[in-house]
Amino acid sequence: MGDMIRDPSPGACATGAEGSRPNQLFLGTFVHSRTKEELEYLHDTAVCVDAAGTIVAVEAGCGSLARAEEVLFPRLGWTRGEVLTHEAKEGEFFFPGFIDTHVHASQYPNVGIFGKSTLLDWLNTYTFPLESSLKDLAKARRVYTACVRRTLAHGTTTSAYYATIDVASTNLLADICLGLGQRAFVGRVCMDREGLCPDFYRDESAEDSLKKTREAAEYVRSIDPRADLVAPILTPRFAPACSGEAMSGLARMQRELDLLVQTHVSENEGEIELVAELFPDSESYTAVYDDHGLLGEKTVLAHAVHLSEKEADTIAERGAKISHCPCSNSSITSGAARVRWLWDKGIDVGLGTDMSGGYSPSILEAARQAALVSRHIAMTLHGDERERAKLTVEEVLYLGTRGGATVVGLGDRIGGFEVGKQWDAQMITLPFVDEDGVAGGDGDSNVDLFGWENWEERVAKWVFNGDDRNTKRVWVKGRLVHQRR
């Protein structure tokens, strides 16, 4: 493992009891996005995290315990021997936790199961039956626990979750996130439109949708009143599943409660046609949300594959955000969302796993696929446009961290290592091949370093061959929430 822990109260980390943690000192190399285009490598550095999980010092040249004790402890008023210390050794580094801006926790058991389907038949064949079954709370507990544990293991420290239409199991998902320590937005799914929504899985009316949404939102607020970790998010499933009345009602609730809103936009061509039929008075799919008051700075739109120029301009004007879900868009043949084009419009973009339209629980996999999908877009372009369309390693990691933080409205709290931000982080280990060609790390890695790689190359190797095995520890708000055995 190569890390050194001096834990005065072993097990305390796992209890989640707020305020019971000691101050913590992290030593070694820290990597995070300086800009979209550039990663910053902070070597020989100390990051100090207080008992509340907030970063209180980031100091270069202090990468040893002795030096940190000498320089930083007096400044912070910390006492030697009472600080929990974690050291990233050679081949290890700290990286911000990943942010999954679009994920259906309720679909987790279906990852990888989609056949040749596309969106609308996929919903009916695979998705609605599973989601509906989670009104069984024992099943919901099992599925949601597995999902949260699995995504934590992949370094996801924040998730924007869709649950189901069921209030009790939505509330349970919030409980589980709080208990396991994952930062989360938890949304009860609103879907009240007859015809598209099946009879066995539909809100009875717009009024029912709103009432149950409020009920779930109030519950989530009750268990974490300051939204330190979990918060409700309004979740109209997508325009074809919602009545105009429900959407207008959610828009009013959004203004009243000042919550995030999440939904889908322009994922699939058949879906877009359906929206045009269902909402003849709206100019476009995007306009449907805008016309119902749902398009604003706190709106997270998943997919945005087939947007028109005008739709993208509207989204940019409203300050709405986009969750790019490359694994999903490729799997169910939705299309390829143009991240460079969205960025050029000034739109903030993050990554989503979109399980189980997307097959993977990992934002690292989403980052990898974002790079590959951008190259499939590039193949359709020429000259400079082709080169520009490609996303770099640095850019896809930005999407998965700072980009995602901005999308879920937490750009001031998470996504990088600065004083005042929360310690939402993962420790990455990349083992070295020995002189005989035998992989290091007890085989617990798919990344092989040979020792001559520079840091940019190490990070590229991690992005393209890394997985949860390289994520040795994960912290949210200073709490250790995952540790590989």
Site residues (vs a copy of itself, CB under 8 A): 108-109, 111-116, 138, 141-146, 149-150, 153, 330-331, 333, 335-336, 359-362, 369, 372-373, 375-376, 378-379, 386-387, 390, 392, 433, 435-439, 442-443, 446-448, 450, 452-453, 457, 460-465, 467-469, 484-485
| Nearest distance from C-beta of residue 338 to a copy of itself, angstroms | 13
Nearer to a copy of itself, 229 or 459 (CB): 459
Question: Looking at this protein, which amino acid is placed at residue 278?
Answer: L
The neighbouring-strand residues paired with 229 are none
CB 96, min distance to a copy of itself, A? 20
Distance CA 395, CA 408 (A): 18
Please identify, using beta-carbon distances, which residue of 66 and 438 lies nearer to a copy of itself.
438
**Least distance in angstroms from the C-beta of 457 to a copy of itself:** 5
Give the whole-angstrom CA distance, residue 26 versus residue 48.
Answer: 6
Strands 55-60 and 39-49, sheet pairing: antiparallel
> Taking the complex as a whole, how short is the minimal distance between the CB of residue 460 and a copy of itself, in angstroms?
5
Nearest distance from C-beta of residue 382 to a copy of itself, angstroms: 10
Q: How far is the CB of 70 from a copy of itself (least distance, A)?
A: 39
CB of 324 to a copy of itself, least distance (A): 15
**Least distance in Å: CB of 151 to a copy of itself?**
11
- Closest CB to a copy of itself among residues 76, 146: 146
Please give the backbone phi and psi of residue 435, each rounded to the nearest 5 degrees, phi first: -65, -25
CA 287 to chain centre: 26
* Encoded amino acid at 91, one letter: G
Q: Which is nearer to a copy of itself, 184 or 217 (CB)?
A: 184
The full DSSP string for 239-276 is GGGS-HHHHHHHHHHHHHHT-EEEEEES--HHHHHHHH
- Say if residues 343 and 382 touch (Cβ distance below 8 Å): no
- DSSP tag of 21: P
- Name the region of 90 (left: φ>0; alpha: ψ -120 to 50; beta: rest): beta
For a copy of itself, the closer CB: 131 or 203: 131
Burial 200-232 (b: 16+ CB within 10 A, else e): ebbbeebeebbebbbebbebbbeebeeeebbbb
Sign of CA dihedral 180, 237, 110, 461: negative
Q: Are the C-beta atoms of 48 and 78 separated by less than 8 Å? A: yes
Closer to a copy of itself by CB, 156 or 360: give it.
360
Q: Which is nearer to a copy of itself, 346 or 443 (CB)?
A: 443
Nearer to a copy of itself, 299 or 328 (CB): 328
User: CA 301, CA 242: separation in Å to the nearest integer?
Assistant: 15
Q: What is the rounded distance in angstroms from the CA atom of residue 423 to the CA atom of residue 435?
A: 37
Task: Work out how close the CB of 184 gets to a copy of itself at its nearest, in angstroms, rounded to a whole number.
Answer: 16
Q: Which is nearer to a copy of itself, 75 or 376 (CB)?
A: 376
